[in-house]
Amino acid sequence: MDYVQNTWYAAIWSDDLGRELTPRTYLNVPVVLYRKLDGTPAAIEDRCPHRYAPLSMGKLIGDEVECLYHGLRFDCLGTCTDNPNGAGIIPKAAAIRSYPVIERFGMVWIWMGDPARADPELLPDLGPLVDTERYTSMHGALKLEANYLLVLDNLTDLSHASFVHVETLEPREMAREQFKVSQDADGTLWTRLFHPAMTVPKFFALVPGLADKMDHWLEMRCNAPGVMVTVYGVTDIGKTREEGYDTFNPNLITPETDYTTHYFWGSARTFALDNEELTRTLKGLAELAFTTEDKPIIEAQQKILGRRELMDVHPVLLPNDAASGRARRAIERKIAEEKALARAA
């Protein structure tokens, strides 16, 4: 399966990466992640070019990784720096790929494509996750046994919340609202919904002291293929959003293999910043929603599809699939552009 290569993919939450060699697979490629002595992250191919042993089984020595099998050593650029066998000659071809990584918003991001194009400016803004003055945030991760496009479909059509998450997030009547889809010049895709004076959704009902009926917004910002941010909140009827209770919820998806996906979720809220019990409660609710509501249905889709791609079975489309359709087409376009570039090179 083809993937967009020239983009920043979420690799691992910052607090999950230390000095241990950490093996991960992205876009079917085995990668080993680690932190250098200065604390910055590094990512190189997780297979020694000599015998295809995973380097992650070896040792981290300073900023270099030594293969367990025959001791070849590689720096964080993928250059072989030592062959401790015999005369110690290092073959020219003894190099592996290294991957640009950048740490921002509490996340380590990886660029699986052409390193020359790895521009930090291309990172979508997830500022609220680390803006501790205005937000309190939390995050988690799970693995889905499904192709990432099924997860993208799920996230770009928030109407599913009124059914899949009817016990945890949105009431059923929200589905009757029509999401407005729009697109920025840079390709950022938006779906937006505003519901005045409605019964407060389940999620907010957990916040102490809110009114029974409030104005509610539910929005999705999508930077395909991997960054989708849900923004939802409530405010007293007729008041501004700034006066209300807002949340900023990145959902970051990274293909692991053709049929498995890394799913990272974060959530930053603008209210009750110091209420740690509320943080714990909301975190439990989010994990419940992702693990027991989204994950089973998405994995069940994949099971029915088997090795087929959803669009290849010509499913019936609904108006709510507009955003997902646009995102999928944007991904196809990017992949085609990258192939054209590769042919030209």
Nearer to a copy of itself, 242 or 312 (CB): 312
Q: How far apart are CA 310 and CA 292, in angstroms?
A: 22
Nearer to a copy of itself, 33 or 129 (CB): 33
CB of 50 to a copy of itself, least distance (A): 5
CB of 262 to a copy of itself, least distance (A): 19
CB of 164 to a copy of itself, least distance (A): 6
CA 116 to chain centre: 23
Nearer to a copy of itself, 72 or 234 (CB): 72
CB of 261 to a copy of itself, least distance (A): 16
Cα-based distances in Å from 92 to 53, 84, 87, 89, 95? 19, 16, 15, 9, 7
Q: How far apart are CA 226 and CA 126, in angstroms?
A: 13
Cα-based distances in Å from 53 to 18, 66, 167, 319? 22, 11, 47, 49
Q: Among 190, 188, 183, 165, which residue's Cα sits nearest to residue 175?
A: 165
Nearer to a copy of itself, 8 or 34 (CB): 34
CB of 303 to a copy of itself, least distance (A): 8
CB of 159 to a copy of itself, least distance (A): 5
213-250 burial code (b ≥16 CB/10 A, e <16): ebbbbbbbbbbbbbbbbbbbbbbeeeeeeeebbbbbbb
Nearer to a copy of itself, 71 or 106 (CB): 71
Task: List residues near a copy of itself by CB under 8 A.
Answer: 30, 46-47, 49-54, 57, 67-71, 83-89, 91, 93-94, 153, 157, 159-160, 162-164, 172, 175-179, 296-297, 300-301, 303-305, 310, 313, 315-320
CB of 204 to a copy of itself, least distance (A): 22
Helices of type H across the chain: 148-156, 161-164, 202-205, 276-288, 295-305, 322-344
Nearer to a copy of itself, 109 or 179 (CB): 179
Nearer to a copy of itself, 308 or 329 (CB): 308
CB of 145 to a copy of itself, least distance (A): 15
CB of 156 to a copy of itself, least distance (A): 12
Nearer to a copy of itself, 109 or 259 (CB): 259
CA quadruple 314, 318, 324, 326: dihedral sign: positive
Instruction: Write 205-212 long-range contacts (CB < 8 A, 24+).
Output: 206/278, 206/281, 206/282, 206/285, 207/245, 207/271, 207/272, 207/278, 208/272, 208/278, 210/234, 210/245, 211/236, 211/237
Nearer to a copy of itself, 153 or 338 (CB): 153
- The helix (H) or strand (E) run that includes residue 110 is strand 107-111
What number of helices (H) and strands (E) belong to the chain?
6, 17
